[in-house]
Amino acid sequence: MTVYQATASAPVNIACIKYWGKRDTKLILPTNSSLSVTLDQDHLRSTTTSRADPSFQKDRLWLNGVEEEIKDGGRLATCIKEMKALRKQLEEKDSSLPKISGFPVHISSRNNFPTAAGLASSASGFAALVASLSALYQLSTDASQLSLIARQGSGSACRSLFGGFVAWQMGERADGADSYAVEIAPREHWPDIHALICVVNDEKKGTSSTSGMQRTVETSPLLQHRIKHVVPERMAAISKAILARDFDTFARITMQDSNQFHAVALDTDPPIFYMNDVSRAIIALIVEYNRVAVANGGKLKAAYTYDAGPNAVIYAPKENIKEIVELIVKYFPQADKFKDPFELFGAAGVQ
């Protein structure tokens, strides 16, 4: 008997220009474009196995060994349905293909890092889900096409289907057909950039991104300014900086955009706080590190960025990583001194 099964994995991505807000919550269409770096560390990935079998009663999914309900019309159901539809199209075109699109699927996904702690687990998770179904169904669809489906699982997931430097173009259409991810540059273009992830707290976050961002859309006047007057120029400028391997500009924009994302969170009613005192202390350290570098006639040496949680991601050229790790260990020497344990997660090359 033929076994129809495939495994794929996808890494986490960390945004430099942040996605925050939807103009369509069902199709997951964003209020602004975003841009991220896909990390290529083995310890920041989701790995997913999908199996189609006529003897299965229904579609089922396990996340880290625990079964999750696949709600009718929900995000998981939508992604699975769309992938089955692509397979069905193939089967209709090529009658020699086994008709597996009608079989129920069982899907098992594992993250090798804390789930929902502001480390973009939904991004790698939905990207790996779509990638594994694509392999199962032997679809030849390109990554941008698949990103249209991953996007409907979780917005940021569309960016994890590419390595390297990736933009999610917000698009304009009401059906979302032009809201997908594109590669700005592959990782080989700028392998010198490394990411250092400082896990300040790996507990599940207080306000989910999904509900938090819609509260921001409904209540924040600053968000309206951001999406109209700030993000479009930043997307163009940071893309140019990436293509030119201009770390100074890349770092400046990355830090500005992290700051503005947390400002719109604060501008939300009621306000949302994702960073904590340790996060802010790390910002102060990086600001001072850069100030000294610039005062000595140099350029910026590191960029911090924070997502919907307190954990810091520091982008820096490889030559600075050792120095940054030493600085952080010097100023945050003992995990138990802090209410939130501080853990150095590791230095990551980017993919």
* Contacting residues toward ligand 2P0, per CB under 6 A: 15, 18-20, 28, 34, 120, 122, 154-156, 209-210, 261, 307-308
Q: How far apart are CA 130 and CA 81, in angstroms?
A: 11
Smallest distance, ligand 2P0 to C-beta of residue 178, A: 17
Extract the tokens encoding 28: 């997951």
Least separation in angstroms between CB 148 and ligand 2P0: 14
- Compute the least distance from the CB of residue 120 to ligand 2P0, in Å: 6
Beta-ladder partners of 305: 313
Residue 53 CA to residue 102 CA, distance in Å, equals 9
Retrieve residue 148's tokens.
């249209």
- Among residues 136 and 242, whose Cβ is nearest to ligand 2P0? 242
For ligand 2P0, give the closer residue by CB, 49 or 154.
Answer: 154
Helix runs in 137-201, H state only: 143-150
**For ligand 2P0, the closer CB: 40 or 307:** 307
Q: Which residue is nearest to ligand 2P0 (CB)?
A: 155
Shortest Å, Cβ 38 to ligand 2P0 = 11
Smaller CB separation from ligand 2P0, 26 or 81: 26
Torsion of CA 106, 73, 144, 258, to 10 degrees: -110
Interhelix angle 121-136/143-150, nearest 10 degrees: 120
> Closest distance between ligand 2P0 and the C-beta of residue 102, in Å?
29
Burial (Cβ within 10 Å: 0-12, 13-18, ≥19) of residue 96 = exposed
The structure tokens listed for 245 are 């391997």
Closest CA to 3 of 52, 70, 63: 52
Sign of CA dihedral 102, 104, 110, 114: positive
Rounded to the nearest whole angstrom, what is the least distance from the CB of residue 90 to ligand 2P0 in the complex?
28
Between 51 and 262, name the residue whose CB sits nearer to ligand 2P0: 262
Q: Decide whether 9 or 254 has the Cβ nearer to ligand 2P0.
A: 254
Give me the residues paired with residue 304 across strands.
314
